[in-house]
């Protein structure tokens, strides 16, 4: 945990324990810097993070104050999940299809969606980029860039890595049809049917669907709502099951929103490296951080080429264009050959349009607006959950992304809540779709990537009433 994150966590804890009450003024940046022996920049970053989480607000020429909504926020989940550690076949697709089918219609309130609002993205600029590049496509580019992808786009992606302090060779990148294809390719080159794969618990349901389709076995590993996958449990699972791969979302994990601190990412890479186990890192939300620094991926600590880093522009820039990539490390050549025999190529006009957009600048300006909007929407959702959900509800407070994970009290039935909500025009994702063992029956994932207008506010109130009815 960085110094500013530790300071922010300490202040947040003081607010939750009501040592700091609504309306109280926080120490000035100068006072906090001197008292704690940290730089003013560290204090600013901590206060910015608290502001993004809706716990404090800045008043011009006055300082930072605890918000009224802060005291009402429900507590966070306290412990990691505790799956049984067995290696098991995966059978979730029917349940996922049933739940997702009830979340796809535009007229539904989209708390169950996996996507943020498309209105948050610069689709007009992307359209102009497409119009500018499509008429001038070099006919030979369909051959030259056949499998690895457009050279300029790969160069621009490599530059994004460089901005984050990482050296990734553009020749080691393969452009894919979204992150989902990148992940499919990565798991496909290191496993065979019947192999076991370490996964987080809970984990994104698409991960489980891919394992099921490939006839792979899942070993669910406890995952902490703030710090990510349990490293001791990973070591124990390796000793017991000899898995062929490990698949994690190390930053703003879906559904928990958990982010592993950098030192834990390093430890995970080193642990897997000692056993020669490839790490598939799903990192599609990394650009959506609320603090001042982009979290480093586990790939940053890869010295042996065992980490396959998969990402996409779908969640941060261009939904619908389906442009993703994988930095494949030592597996890059095998991934390219595997793609050659499956989808062959990725949409050329979309590759050119995104490369053109990135060349012209403006991506980081867009990201700053997007992060600000997502942070504000998260704060509004947290306040609404505090108002409407039953006493005893716990909810995560991710430092980025757009998901909240709710633990409902008592014997709440998340699947029953989901079905009743769907009948009322509200989608929500119930906990069991995120588990190979159908755990988390008392949990819900909420998407706060859409503006919380009056209709959405009323939908949250309805969800709260339904949750109370099924406790």
CATH architecture group of domain 122-363: 3-Layer(aba) Sandwich (3.40)
Domain 91-119+367-469 in CATH 3.40.228.10? The answer is no
User: Residue 264: which pLDDT band, with cuts at 50, 70 and 90?
Assistant: very high
Q: How many CA atoms lie within 13 A of 259 on its CB side?
A: 27
Beta bridge partners of 57: 65
- H/E run at residue 222: strand 217-224
Domain 3-72 has CATH 3.40.50.720: no
- pTM (predicted TM-score): 0.90
- pLDDT at residue 292 tops 90: no
Token digits of residue 212: 């099921």
* pLDDT confidence bin for 48, thresholds 50/70/90: confident
What is the arithmetic mean of pLDDT over 165-180? 96
Closest CA to 178 of 358, 353, 339, 311: 311
Sign of CA dihedral 205, 209, 211, 212: positive
In terms of C-beta density within 10 A (0-12 exposed, 13-18 middle, 19 or more buried), how is residue 33 classed?
middle
By the 8 A CB rule, do 145 and 459 touch? no
Q: What is the pLDDT of residue 71?
A: 63
State residue 305's pLDDT score: 97
The dihedral through the CA atoms of 172, 175, 177, 179 has a sign that is positive
Where does the pLDDT of residue 76 fall: very low under 50, low under 70, confident under 90, or very high at 90 and above? confident
The answer to whether 40 and 29 are in contact (CB under 8 A) is yes
Amino acid 159: pLDDT: 97
Asked whether the predicted pLDDT for residue 227 surpasses 70, the reply is: yes
Section 358-372 average pLDDT: 95
Mean pLDDT computed over 124-141: 90
pLDDT digits (tens, 9 = 90+) for 178-206: 999 999 999 999 999 999 999 999 999 99
**Per-residue confidence band for 385, with pLDDT thresholds at 50, 70 and 90:** very high
pLDDT in tens, 405-453: 999 998 899 999 999 999 999 999 999 999 999 999 999 999 999 999 9
Per cent of the chain over pLDDT 90 is: 77
| Domain chopping of the chain, boundaries | 3-72, 91-119+367-469, 122-363
Residue 251's pLDDT is 97
Q: What is the pLDDT of residue 1?
A: 67
């Amino acid at each position: 945990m960085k110094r500013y994150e530790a300071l922010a966590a300490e202040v947040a804890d003081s607010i939750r324990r009501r040592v700091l009450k609504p309306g109280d003024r926080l120490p000035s940046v100068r006072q906090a810097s001197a008292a704690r022996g940290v730089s003013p920049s560290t204090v600013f970053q901590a206060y910015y993070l608290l502001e993004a989480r809706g716990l404090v607000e800045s008043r011009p020429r006055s300082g930072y104050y605890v918000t009224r909504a802060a005291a009402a926020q429900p507590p966070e989940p306290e412990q990691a999940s505790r799956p049984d550690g067995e290696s098991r076949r995966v059978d979730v697709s029917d349940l996922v299809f049933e739940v997702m089918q009830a979340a796809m219609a535009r007229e539904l309130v989209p708390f169950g969606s996996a996507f943020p609002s498309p209105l948050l993205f610069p689709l007009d600029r992307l359209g102009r980029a497409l119009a500018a590049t499509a008429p001038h496509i070099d006919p030979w580019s369909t051959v030259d860039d056949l499998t690895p992808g457009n050279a300029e786009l790969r160069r621009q992606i490599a530059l994004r890595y460089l901005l984050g302090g990482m050296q990734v060779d553009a020749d080691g990148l393969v452009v894919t049809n979204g992150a989902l294809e990148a992940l499919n390719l990565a798991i496909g080159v290191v496993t065979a049917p019947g192999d076991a794969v370490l996964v987080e618990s809970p984990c994104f349901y698409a991960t489980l669907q891919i394992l099921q389709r490939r006839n792979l076995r899942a070993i669910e590993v406890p995952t902490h709502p703030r710090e990510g996958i349990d490293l001791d449990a990973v070591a124990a699972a390796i000793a017991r099951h000899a898995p062929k791969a490990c698949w994690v979302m190390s930053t703003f994990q879906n559904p928990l929103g958990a982010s592993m601190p950098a030192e834990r990412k390093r430890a995970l890479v080193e642990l897997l490296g000692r056993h020669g186990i490839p790490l598939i890192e799903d990192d599609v939300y990394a650009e959506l951080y609320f603090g001042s620094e982009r979290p480093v991926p586990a790939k940053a600590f890869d010295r042996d080429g065992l980490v396959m880093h998969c990402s996409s522009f779908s969640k941060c820039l261009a939904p619908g264009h389906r442009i993703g990539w994988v930095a494949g490390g030592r597996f890059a050549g095998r991934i390219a050959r595997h793609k050659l025999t499956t989808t062959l190529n990725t949409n050329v006009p979309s590759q050119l349009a995104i490369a053109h957009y990135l060349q012209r600048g403006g991506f980081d300006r867009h990201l700053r607006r997007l992060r600000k909007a997502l942070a504000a929407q998260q704060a509004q959702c947290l306040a609404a959950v505090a108002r409407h959900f039953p006493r005893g509800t716990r909810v995560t407070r991710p430092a980025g992304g757009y998901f909240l994970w709710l633990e409902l009290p008592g014997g709440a039935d998340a699947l029953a809540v989901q079905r009743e909500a769907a009948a009322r025009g509200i989608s929500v994702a119930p906990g069991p779709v995120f588990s190979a063992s159908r755990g988390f029956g008392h949990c819900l994932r909420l998407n706060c990537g859409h503006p919380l207008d009056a209709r959405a506010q009323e939908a949250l109130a309805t969800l709260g009433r339904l949750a109370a009815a099924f406790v």
